[in-house]
Chain A
Amino acid sequence: MRLLRIVPDDTKFDFMRFRRVSFPISAMLSIIAIFLYFHPGLNLGIDFRGGTLMEVQSKTGPADLAAMRATLGGLNLGDVQLQQFGADTDVLIRIAQQPGGDEAQRAAVAKVRDALGTNVEYRRVEVVGPRVSGELLSYGTIGIMFAIGGILLYLWFRFEWQFALGAMIANVHDLVLTVGFMSITQIDFDLTSIAALLTILGYSLNDTVVIYDRIRENLRRYKRLSMPDLLNSSINSTLSRSIITHVTVSLALLSLLLFGGQAIHSFTATMLFGVVLVGTYTSVFIASPILIYLGVGTTRMGASEPEPEPVGAVPARSAAGPRRTK
């Protein structure tokens, strides 16, 4: 059987040349994303804004959105949004936070139930009071900060500080672009979005760490290779892995997006964007070249060792490590 070779064996693509393009592009995209964050801004779901969300299913054929809108509009509940959700019998109702604290939210739900009567099945009812929504938002923000801090600390222990900083810049870049994506698509930003952001954080770093690992290894081995060449060689030798892994992750996410149902639709869409589109690009075009600017490898120059051939990976003679008897 002939096996797939996604990346030819001796690929030597000059990724470093692109840093003069990729850095400005990323900076521009980040600025756009930040702009989008303020306008139109994230579409905060009820987890963070408080209010009521009801998913109802019409028992009598397709739901009549116009009629429902008229019925609920007459209840004097302020901002009520209706939206088809998946099948044409399913409707998602969003009711803005009612003035008057936690009790008022409950009263609103009761009113809607009375108005819609027994022709619909209540598939989901979520009511989040003002106190809880405020807390959830601050927990979410603190959580992301903690995750970034924890990962930074870990990378600092395992690598030199330049790597930790480089990974962090790349990571914040990922998060900013993803937040921009959520702003422009107006995906509901709720607790699962925080979960998606944290996952993106984890996996985008996963990719970066794999390349960094190789860079570190090569730094020890090729003492006199210029930094751009060394980075290029490191990226090229991990390229096949990066692509294959991203294919498998995309396959998994794609299947969740297509078949996993409405409930996790925005969750998987966000991850697909963050992990697959942004994460891959960042590890190659941002996280690696940034090491040059952070001064990695400047102290090695002038080392007296002979220069081995930087082909493929490891020359067989030097790296036949002792057989471990674990």
Chain B
Amino acid sequence: MLFFSRWKVVAVLLTAFVVCLCAVPNFFPEKTVQAWPKWAQRHIVLGLDLQGGSHILLQVDVADVRRQKVEVLRDDVRRVLREARIANTNSVRGNTIEVKLREPNDTAQALPKLRELSQPIGGLLNTTGQRSVDIEDAGGGVIRLTLTDAAVLERTRQAVEQSIQIIEHRVNDLGTVEPSIQRQGADRILVQVPGLQDPKRLIEILGKTARLDFRMVDQSMTPEQALQTRPPPESEILYGQKDKQPYLIEKRVLVSGADLTNAQPGFDQRTNEPIVSFRFNSNGARRFAQVTTENVGRPFAIVLDNEVISAPVIREPITQGQGQISGNFTVEQATDLSILLRAGALPAKLTIVEERTVGPGLGQDSIEKGKLASYVGSAMVIVFMLATYGLFGLFANVAVAVNVAMIFGVLSLLGATLTLPGIAGIVLTVGIAVDSNVLIYERIREEVRAGRTPITAIDAGFTRALATILDSNITTFIAAIVLFFIGTGAVRGFAVTLGIGIVTTVFTAFTLTRLIVAWWVRQWRPQRVPI
């Protein structure tokens, strides 16, 4: 146990040294590190609980996705049957569209047409055998088309993908540093933004669907009349975003936000009021020019997420494909609206299901406290080990110091996140890591008492203790792995340092401590073991 071949000594020391070296970039200011080669820049990321920031979990509204998908299916059904000149009525119930053909004899003709609407899930390339619509002939000219769960799930997944891109766009436009946006599970998106003073604005920007429509104002009756009786079938009552007044707006969308190519905040040249100026793509520009030409003198409405931002009167045809939105904005609101318009509308509604924000003040406090607890804890353990084992205690302390340095090295190498519970994990590792030394030393004591010579006692002590060390650490390692998978954020940080700490502890016990003791035995040829 005490003999090491030369290359093994080199390998052990080199491994320890290189891993420790990985921790170096953490001790230099970020500016300095950025000048280093890429491979040397890896460093520990401070968790949101230490540097301050927001952790926001968004969930795609699956009901919204389903509703949209059913709506699209219904439009398709109508179109297909109209093209085939088959008279019918249809109604929606949940995921099912029930089509009632006027002539039951048309069923044979209608079925193949409707079957074309059902597509294989996952596209043609990686088909799963599932289809998007179940079609059932209920007899008597009634056909039921049911949207499958697989279709909804697929659409949800697509919606998450698209939303991630749009959110990335929005968050980056806010000027935040190193935001992280990840999918989580089938229908969730985790947004983590460090170092934000006020998450309120971020939350407002994340939660908005940002569906912008240009529609005509229905002037066939006043909004008040429509509220008292009922609005015309092709119109609906929407409320103003600022003034909360009812407006009667046509349902038909003239031009949508999808046709915008750019949006910028600015000031109106005459009134100096904050505005958002925008530009259409060629398709949108053509449509807008046509509509404004036909409707000079009538008001149209700019509708954002079913709220009327403004309803100006068209004074002259707008043919240049650009325009501006004014709506009593503050500068910040105009900026945010242009961010939203540039990034585009979310494909489905997103709900914030979890928010955790730590202010920078608390983060700084936590760092200070974590540091203090680490220093005091380590110092107490070091003194205690010295008092208990003397010289061998010193060996143990050297091993623990290297151990901690290696934990930092591995954390840097992995680019892992250090949280306050993570710091607790490191401090705990210090307390636990010496356990491996204690196991070895106590075994050596026993062997000495059993009458062995120092060298055989030390040798036997290592041999017997190492098996125990492995066994006893694996149980905790299992717990750390489980914790890593169920934990989020700060707790996961604890699992990471705990797990890494166990690995480095076993490494130092098996190699470094042995190496040190072997070196000492060779150098001093001890007549008795000083423990």
Look across to chain A and name the residue whose beta carbon is closest to the beta carbon of B388: A4
Verify if B355 is at the interface (C-beta below 8 Å from A): yes
Q: Let me know if B343 is at the binding interface, CB within 8 A.
A: no
CB distance from A58 to the nearest CB of B (A): 12
Given contacts A106-B352, A202-B479, A252-B377, 5 further A-B contacts (CB under 8 A): A102-B352, A150-B481, A206-B472, A261-B365, A323-B1
How close is A235's CB to chain B, nearest CB, in angstroms? 13
Nearest 4 A/B pairs, CB to CB: A252-B431, A202-B476, A255-B377, A202-B479
Minimum CB–CB distance from A105 to chain B (whole Å) comes to 8
Closest to B380 in A: A251
- Which of B376, B420, B439, B478 interacts with A154 by CB under 8 Å? B478
Q: Kindly provide the distance from the CB of A108 to the nearest chain B CB, expressed in whole angstroms.
A: 12
CA A150 – CA B486 in complex, angstroms? 15
Among B361, B376, B531, residue most surrounded by chain A Cβ atoms (within 10 Å): B376
Closest to A3 in B: B390
Given known contacts A210-B468, A313-B447, A320-B456, A191 and B491 CB-to-CB distance under 8 angstroms: yes
Q: Is A209 an interface residue (CB 8 A)?
A: yes
- CB A136 to nearest CB in B, in angstroms, measures 8
Query: Which residues in chain A, 259-284, are within 8 Å of chain B measured between CB atoms?
Result: 259-261, 263-264, 267-268, 271
Tell me if B490 counts as interface (CB < 8 A to partner A): yes
- The docked-state distance in angstroms from the alpha carbon of A155 to that of B378 is 32
Contact with A along B454-467 (1 / 0, CB 8 A): 00100110011001
The segment from B18-26, B119-127, B318-326, B367-375 found at the interface with A is B367-375
Task: Count A interface residues, CB 8 Å.
Answer: 90
Residues of A within 8 A of B498 (CB): 199
Number of A-B contacts (CB under 8 A): 272
- Contacting residue for A252 out of B1, B49, B428, CB 8 A: B428
Separation of A260 and B374 alpha carbons in the complex (Å): 8
Q: How far is the CA of A253 from the CA of B376 in the complex (A)?
A: 10
- Listed in ascending order, the chain A residues whose CB lies under 8 Å from chain B are 1, 3-4, 6, 9, 55, 57, 101-103, 106, 113, 121-129, 131-132, 139-140, 142-144, 146-147, 150-151, 154-155, 158, 191-192, 194-195, 198-199, 201-203, 205-207, 209-210, 213-214, 217, 237-238, 240-241, 244-245, 247-256, 258-261, 263-264, 267-268, 271, 311-316, 319-321, 323-326
Of B463, B476, B483, which contacts A203 at CB under 8 A? B476
Q: How far is the CA of A212 from the CA of B343 in the complex (A)?
A: 62
Check A195 against B431 for contact (C-beta < 8 Å): no
Question: Which positions 420-454 of chain B face chain A at CB distance < 8 Å?
Answer: 420-421, 423-424, 427-428, 430-432, 434-435, 438-439, 442-443, 445-447, 449-452
> Could you tell me if B59 and A131 are in contact, using CB atoms closer than 8 angstroms?
yes
- Complex: how many Å from CA A129 to CA B424? 28
Q: Distance in Å from the Cβ of A263 to the closest Cβ of chain B?
A: 6
CA distance A124 to B362 in the complex (A): 7
Check if B474 sits within 8 Å of A315, measured CB to CB: no
B205, chain A: closest CB distance, angstroms:
14
Provide the B332-359 mask, 1 if CB < 8 A to any CB of A, else 0. 0000000000000000000111111111
Question: Cβ of A254: which chain B residues have Cβ within 8 Å of it?
Answer: 377, 380
B372 to chain A, nearest CB (A): 5
Q: Provided the pairs A195-B494, A206-B475 are in contact, do residues A264 and B424 lie with their beta carbons within 8 angstroms?
A: yes
Tell which of B355, B362, B370 touches A55, judged by Cβ atoms closer than 8 Å: B362
Query: Is B295 located at the chain interface by the 8 A CB criterion?
Result: no
A321 touches B463 (CB 8 A): yes
List A contacts of B468 (CB < 8 A): 209-210, 213-214
B377 touches A194 (CB 8 A): no
Q: How many residues of B contact A (CB 8 A)?
A: 93
Q: Which of chain B's residues have a CB closer than 8 A to the CB of A206? A: 432, 435, 472-473, 475-476
Residues of A within 8 A of B381 (CB): 248, 251-252
Sampled A-B contacts (29; CB under 8 Å): A3-B530, A57-B361, A106-B203, A122-B359, A125-B355, A125-B357, A129-B351, A132-B57, A143-B482, A191-B487, A191-B491, A195-B487, A206-B472, A206-B475, A209-B475, A210-B468, A241-B439, A249-B431, A251-B431, A255-B373, A255-B427, A260-B370, A260-B373, A261-B420, A271-B428, A312-B449, A313-B446, A315-B450, A326-B8
Among A155, A202, A268, A323, chain B packs the most CB atoms within 10 A around the CB of: A202
Kindly state the separation between the CA atoms of A126 and B57 in the bound complex, as whole angstroms.
12
A interface majority secondary structure: helix
Asked if B389 is an interface residue, CB under 8 A from chain A, the answer is yes
Question: Looking at B351, B370, B380, B471, which has the most chain A CB atoms within 10 Å of its CB?
Answer: B471
**A150 and B478 contact, Cβ closer than 8 Å, known pairs A57-B361, A142-B486:** yes
Q: Is the CB of A147 within 8 A of B479?
A: yes
B89 within 8 A of A: no
The residue of chain A having its C-beta at the shortest distance from the C-beta of B456 within the complex is A320
CA–CA, A93 and B447, complex, Å: 58
- Decide: B434 and A248 in contact? CB cutoff 8 A: yes
Whether the Cβ atoms of A241 and B438 lie closer than 8 Å is yes
B34 at the interface (CB under 8 A from A): no
- Nearest CB of B to A291, in Å: 16
Whole-angstrom CA separation of A250 from B478 in the bound complex: 22
Q: Is the CB of B432 within 8 A of A263?
A: no
B193 at interface, CB cutoff 8 A: no
- By a CB distance below 8 angstroms, the chain B residues around A245 are 432, 434-435, 438-439
Taking the closest CB of chain A, its distance from the CB of B495, in whole angstroms, is 7
Expressed in whole angstroms, the minimum distance between the Cβ of B191 and any Cβ of chain A is 14
On whether A205 and B475 interact (CB within 8 A), knowing A132-B57, A194-B491, A312-B446, the answer reads yes
Given contacts A201-B479, A237-B446, A240-B442, contact A124 B359 (CB under 8 A): yes
Q: Are A261 and B377 in contact (CB under 8 A)?
A: no
Say yes or no: A253-B463 contact (C-beta < 8 A), given A143-B483, A263-B420. no
**Contact assessment for B491 and A263 in the assembled complex, using a CB-CB cutoff below 8 Å:** no
Residue of B nearest to A217 (CB): B464
- Contact among A199, A238, A240, A264 for B479, CB-based, below 8 A: A199
Question: Bound state CA distance, A316 and B473, in angstroms?
Answer: 28
A248 touches B424 (CB 8 A): no
Q: Is the CB of B438 within 8 A of A244?
A: yes
